[in-house]
Amino acid sequence: MAPFITRLPSKGDRNDFIDIDVHEIIQKPFGDRRCGEWHRNVQPVIDSIPNRADAGWDWNLKIPMAAFMGGMVRQPRLFQVTAGPSAHPAAMIAILLNERCFYSAGPAAFLWYLSTAPDPCIKVQTRGGRIDSPGMLGLAALDVALTLSLHSPCNGRMWLHAAPQGGNALLHWYGLSAVANRVPSESYGTLPGAPFMGRRNDERYFAFTTETALWAHARFSTWR
Domains in the chain with CATH codes: 7-223 (3.40.630.30)
The partner residues of 108 in beta bridges, in order of sequence, read 99
Give this prediction's pTM.
0.93
CA distances from 32 to 38, 47, 179 (A): 10, 21, 33
| 3-state per-residue secondary structure call for the chain | CCCCCCEEEECCCCCCEEEEEEEEECCCCCCCHHHHHHHHHCHHHHHCCCCCCCCCCCCCCHHHHHHHCCCCCCCEEEEEEEECCCCEEEEEEEEEEEECCCCCCCCEEEEEEEEECCHHHCCEECCCCCEECECCHHHHHHHHHHHHHHCCCCCCCEEEECCHHHHHHHHHHHHHHCCCEECCCCCCCEEECCCCCEEECCCCEEEECHHHHHHHHHCCHHHC
92: left (phi over 0), alpha (psi -120 to 50) or beta: beta
The vertex-140 CA angle with 2 and 24, nearest 5°, equals: 45
Mode of pairing for the β-strands spanning 158-161 and 108-116: parallel
Count of alpha carbons within 13 angstroms of residue 179, beta-carbon side: 14
pLDDT in tens, the chain (224 residues): 568 999 999 999 999 999 999 999 986 656 688 999 999 999 999 999 988 999 999 998 888 888 777 667 778 999 999 999 999 999 999 999 998 888 888 899 999 999 999 999 999 999 999 999 999 999 999 999 999 999 999 999 999 999 999 999 999 999 888 889 999 888 888 888 765 677 888 999 999 999 999 999 998 888 88
Written as one letter, the residue type at 148 is L
